[in-house]
Amino acid sequence: MTAIDEFLSMLAAERGAAANTLSAYRRDLEGAEAAIGDLAAADGTALARLGQAWSELAPSTAARKSSALRQFYGFLVDEGLREDDPGSALPRPAPRRPLPKVLTHAEVEALFGRAEDEASGDRPAAIRLLALLELLYGSGLRATELVSLPLSAVPRDAPLLTVTGKGGQARMVPVGGRARTALSRWLAVRPAGGRHVFPSTAKSGHLSRVRLFQLVKELALRAGIAPERVSPHVLRHAFATHLLEGGADLRVLQTLLGHADIATTQIYTHVDSARLVALVNERHPLARGGARA
């Protein structure tokens, strides 16, 4: 077993890392090894060369790769597989996390207005779309969490869903009255069989993420909103931002979104600040060429 394999085994066993996470770590580590040779034996000089190898990458991508390598060398030292930690020689790009796209309240209303009109009849596809939309914006679910939601996660009475998020971490997510109503309507017309709330004949047994993205963008187009402005993740961002605007506590928001690190949730404070700056620039009298002192 190689040092990389041992490191990945540790991530799986001790941190409960998901398969996708392990694959991402493997790609980053094996890519670095292809660039500079055996990682387990590499010194600081070799690691410093990665800066050139990563020069064309986005800062966020290079920062992720650098983080994977630092963890790898920390593991080697902890396990006694090497005495020194050369991780300090790794490039330290400063990633700039872009502010997430956020829908306005008017756009959300237009999107829901169209979905509700289409679901006013008895067409299962329209009712399903409304339920999907309500859970994306009303509960802030990730696309993968939503499409893979098992029937067992939907309780009969309690207004909560049990969701399995990144890294296999389970959390309780509140479901508002509107979402519960939409979900109940969908379950009443849902095709029999299968163990998922939103079943499919696909190999996975549930609606695919790709199809969910298509459905949301198609709805946006019908609602008169540019499709590139809307996606399941944008609706999750809108859920978080609009809750923060309404006075939600950042720690509560972290729990609702399933973020392991509060730093991830803090991006929404920047979104809110950006909104306030835009509001001042748009509405302040001086911004409109008003009177000067």
Catalytically active residues, by annotation: 142, 166, 233, 236, 259, 268
Query: Which of 92, 66, 182 lies closest to 128, judged by CA?
Result: 182
